[in-house]
């Protein structure tokens, strides 16, 4: 399966996660994201072990990669809808972009270096998976233990539909 084909395969999952969050609210996001993180923790090791076992079987390899793509979309799909509703429109871009990109840069960007360092320190071939599994564990705790329904009930379409702004730019 090529990268463009994988991108097409994950698109419906992103749409489903975002629509689920828009329709059912933040609770759906919390449950979907927490489930995605928990499934990642439980299946990373078997999936990466299976990569070596089935290295000559392109069908199984494609299904394994597709499973990892589904896990990613379970976590990232609802984030857009959640973050959009979390901040008012006038500060939405800066308030979402900075923490989102810092988080992706520090946690995601560190995976190759930190994973390799863990593998070298432990001597376990798949030891590099400990870091993403630990981050996913933190994600389970944060999403299920600390995220709550926002206090405001502002939906994105309420702010951009041509009506007067719900949150004025100036006091």
**Is residue 101 within a helix (H) or strand (E), and if so which, with residue range?**
helix 92-103
More confident residue, 80 or 34: 34
pLDDT score of 22: 63
Confidence (pTM): 0.72
Mind giving me the DSSP string for 38-84?
HHHHHHHHHHHHHHHHTTT-HHHHHHHHHHHHHHHHHHHHHHHHHHH
Cβ distance 154 to 84 under 8 Å? no
Q: How many CB atoms lie within 10 A of CB 57?
A: 12
Q: How many CA atoms lie within 13 A of 130 on its CB side?
A: 16
- Percent with pLDDT over 70 in the chain: 65
CA pair distance 109, 3, nearest whole angstrom = 20
**How many degrees, rounded to 5, is the angle at CA 163 between CA 160 and CA 165?**
70
Q: First CA to last CA across the chain, in angstroms?
A: 54
pLDDT by residue (tens digit) across 99-154? 777 877 888 888 899 999 999 999 999 999 999 999 889 888 887 777 666 555 55
CA pair distance 135, 71, nearest whole angstrom = 14
């Amino acid at each position: 399966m090529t990268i463009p084909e994988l991108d097409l395969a994950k698109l419906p999952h992103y749409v489903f996660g975002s629509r689920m969050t828009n329709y059912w609210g933040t609770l759906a996001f919390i449950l979907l994201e927490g489930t995605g993180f928990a499934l990642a923790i439980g299946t990373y090791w078997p999936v990466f072990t299976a990569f070596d076992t089935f290295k000559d079987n392109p069908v199984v390899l494609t299904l394994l990669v597709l499973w990892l793509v589904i896990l990613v979309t379970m976590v990232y799909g609802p984030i857009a809808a959640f973050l959009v509703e979390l901040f008012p429109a006038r500060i939405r871009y800066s308030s979402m972009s900075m923490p989102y990109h810092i988080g992706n840069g520090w946690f995601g960007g560190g995976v190759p270096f930190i994973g390799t360092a863990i593998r070298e320190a432990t001597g376990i071939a798949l030891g590099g998976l400990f870091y993403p599994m630990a981050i996913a564990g933190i994600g389970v705790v944060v999403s299920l233990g600390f995220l709550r329904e926002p206090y405001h009930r502002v939906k994105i379409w309420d702010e951009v539909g041509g009506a007067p702004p719900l949150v004025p730019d100036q006091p």
